Every structure is written in C-alpha cells, then in structure tokens.
Amino acid sequence: MKKYHFFTLILVMLFALTSTSTAKSATELDKDANEAINTFIAQNKGGDAFLVKAKAFLVFPDIKEAGFFVGGKYGEGVLRVQRTTKAYYSIKSASVGMQMGVQQYAMIISFTSDASLNKFLLDDDWKTDIDGKIAMAEWNSKEELDDIDFDTDMVAFVFDSKGMMGSFTMEGTQFKRIKP
C-alpha cells in the first residue's frame, strides 16, 4: 500500500511539472535568464568568451525534473542572439526507464553554427530526438571554455544543480516557442 501512495505522489509531481502553463512574464524570464548567465560566467572560466562566440544561446534558468520509473522535466527560458532576447521557449521531456529522484538545475544551450540556429528557428515545436542532437559539454575546471572545440553545432551546459536524480532511460525532449 505504501508503494502505491509513493507512486501516486510521483505521478502527481510529474503532472504538475509537465502541465505547468507559462506563469512568468517576459520581464521575469529575462531577469532570471540574466541571473543564470551571471552564475554560469562566475562558475566557468572562459564562459563569457564562449557565449560571445556562439551564434545564439538558449537560457533555461530553472528546469525541474522528477522521476520514479516514469519521469518528466519542465522549464521556461530565453533565446538570446548577440545578448539580445529574440524569443521565449519551454523545454519539456518525458522519460521511461530506471530512474528515481528530483532535481532542479539551470541549462544553457549554445548554437555554434548558423545552420543549427536556423534549423532551430524554423520550427516552433522542435524535438531533439527527431530534429537534432545536443552534446552535453564536458570539460574540467582548469580548461577555459572558449579554448575548447566541442566538435558539434549545439552544446548544452548544466549548472547550478540542486537535488539528485539517477537514471538509465529513454527520453524525448521538446522545445516549444511560448509567449509569456
């Protein structure tokens, strides 16, 4: 009986995460994005220079993720081209597999080529499992980000993480343009 209640609680949490409508205004999203960018730059040597070199970047200051065999995540963010806000997006994902936990984090996805940026901009409902692949950045604290060639058109940086999530899952992620 306890397992049933725990599973029900997890499902309710996932539903709350993935069905949230746009609750923040454009001003609030921009403010949160600025704070996330400042945190990223403070935590990563060469982060500012890397973002300056990028064609554009998506900033998701607050992504929430939870799962217990079935999982999901949701966040809202800002697309910046040359440090200017161009649009607002949501990220949501569903996953199935061995997973358990809850976490919250910020993420920046940089577009390092015009082709990847244009492909993203042409579709208001872009899915990573169909339309493209995003490489999760790997580097050590002694390296400067602007000196690293990640050898891909889109690079994601996860930072400012809280909580814990362990998983081995199949996942699909969707980015959707929103109007806050």
Instruction: Please give the structure tokens belonging to residue 147.
Output: 């000196």
**Cα angle for residues 139, 142, 145 (degrees, 5° grid):** 50
pLDDT at 106 over 60: yes
**The pLDDT of residue 32 is above 90:** yes
Q: What is the largest CA-CA distance in the chain?
A: 55
What are the tens digits of pLDDT across the range 35-55?
A: 999 999 998 888 888 898 899
What the block records as the tokens of 42 is 């403070």
Q: Residue 164 above 70 pLDDT?
A: yes
- pTM to 2 decimal places: 0.77
